[in-house]
A and B are shown apart, each in its own frame.
Chain A
Amino acid sequence: MQIPAAFEYARAESLDHALQLLAEHGEEARVIAGGHSLLPMMKLRLANPEWLIDINDLADLDYITEEGDTLRIGALTRHVSLLESDAVAGLFPLVRDAEKTIADPLVRNRGTIGGSLCQADPAEDLSTVCHVLRTELVIRGPNGERTVPMRELHRGPYETSVEQNEILTEIRWPIRPRSSSAYTKVERRVGDWATTAAGACLTMGDAGQIEDVVIGLTAVGLDGGTATRAEDAIRGQQPGEELYAEAGRLAAEDCNPVGDQRGTEAYKRHLADELTQRVLRKAVERVNSTTAARS
């Protein structure tokens, strides 16, 4: 029987109240949202917080809003809302690609994007999505708000730059014209963590070239979350199979997978190559089909 160690529980009534509770209860207080990462860790006694600050009542942190050239996502937005949002799927199709593969419907009913990002699990899908979308994150603390780029959020596995007395409040995805994206994942069975997954977002130029691109890989130890050498090699080039193959080769070279029960190091490296090619192909197809639909 898995039961967490004893702790005290407080329910936050507002964001300010949550911050106040965090300040009050100090180092051993943790925020709980969906709880689908923290509670399993507490049951295994890998996490033993003395206080849990429940933020599930903060409905004002649960939203998807388009504002100018930014899509703003509240940190308490549940996976199911991201999966079902047509606004999100229209602007960033890789989000739906990824959400379909995250755990299962019951877990997606509870788990939140903010919780996923703050868990900082190296095999977590939305972290790659956020790298690929060049996400900005809004963090609120006792002294107000600050924003950090995605590459500065994770300090390492299970460690973020959100300080103990701070809360991640908003995820910001920049909207770019003539852009699209894709995410694909190989998993042992439905709902598993990725053996390897890849995501890409790209912007096409006037002459049909890849004007800008970001490539991310999940669960293969890619430094900084993005395959920058692969990106540099194809930026400015005309899309095509040879180019995708080159990007795949470079991405696979630059990752550092570890062999485990999900696959050998060589297999994961092979997947990094192949999946990079697939997401680039798919993202280019998607830009071209939306551009064709508009003209």
Chain B
Amino acid sequence: MKITMTVNGDSVTSEAEPRVLLVHFLRDVLGLTGTHWGCDTSNCGLCAVLMDGVPVKSCTVLAAMASGHEIRTVEGLATGGTLDPVQQGFMEEHGLQCGFCTPGMMLTARALLDKNPDPDEDTIREAISGQICRCTGYATIVRSIKWAAAHPAGSSQAETPAETPAEETAEVPA
């Protein structure tokens, strides 16, 4: 069947069997391998992507069901060469070790911050509770998301890894 969806802002159309899962459509048909494929049983959350802005496990959504919807993957987090504050936060606070859970964690973080720009620690932990980090790096993941909340897009801190007082007071680019 013909499947058309918007992925990271671009409309894509492809033929696929109805039984193809969204995670495989993204990885194998579109070549977007940033979405990781883990347990296959809707437990681990590695495959999380945003569907119409809402985090979902792409191993438990058919590509056919996502047809007509907007999908955002980790490849769509950075805009115009600038890392999303969440990505920057994972760098600043060492939010990844092996990196396998990272794309899903970052997308869930992005969805959380879009809904609640200043979440407390419990809210962050609840938001990522459907995803497993087998390096058990949860403390640094939570710190990374807090960093992103404290440095929203458009602030100079979000765009420059090295913070200096001068940069903190720099003009926000239009």
A-side interface residues toward B, CB under 8 Å? Answer: 1-9, 11, 32, 35-36, 39-40, 43, 52, 54, 56, 103-107, 109-110, 190-191
Contacts and interface: CB of A to CB of B under 8 A. Distances in A.
Interface string B9-45: 0000000011101001000000000000000111001
A1 B28 CA distance: 13
Contacts of A35: 60-62, 65
Contacts, number: 75
Nearest to B19: A4
B108 A106 contact: yes
Given A3-B19, A190-B129, A109 B61 contact: no
Interface of B: 1, 17-19, 21, 24, 40-42, 45, 48, 54-57, 60-62, 64-65, 67, 108, 126-127, 129-131
- Give the 3 A-B CB pairs with smallest separation, nearest first: A104-B130, A9-B18, A106-B130
Contacts of B57: 106-107, 110
Of A5, A11, A107, most buried by chain B (CB within 10 Å of CB) is: A107
Contacts of B62: 9, 35, 39, 52
Contact of A105 (B18, B65, B129): B129
A243 B4 CA distance: 60
Given A3-B19, A32-B65, A106-B55, A9 B1 contact: yes
A40 B106 CA distance: 25
Nearest to B108: A106
B18 to A, nearest CB: 4
Given A39-B61, A52-B18, A109-B56, 17 more contacts: A2-B41, A3-B21, A6-B19, A8-B18, A35-B65, A36-B60, A39-B21, A39-B42, A56-B65, A104-B130, A105-B55, A105-B108, A105-B130, A107-B60, A110-B56, A110-B61, A191-B129
A106 B45 contact: yes
B91 to A, nearest CB: 24
B46 to A, nearest CB: 11
Given A1-B40, A2-B41, A36-B42, A106 B18 contact: no
Nearest to B3: A9
Contact of A106 (B17, B64, B65, B131): B131
B18 A40 contact: no
A235 B58 CA distance: 48
A38 to B, nearest CB: 10
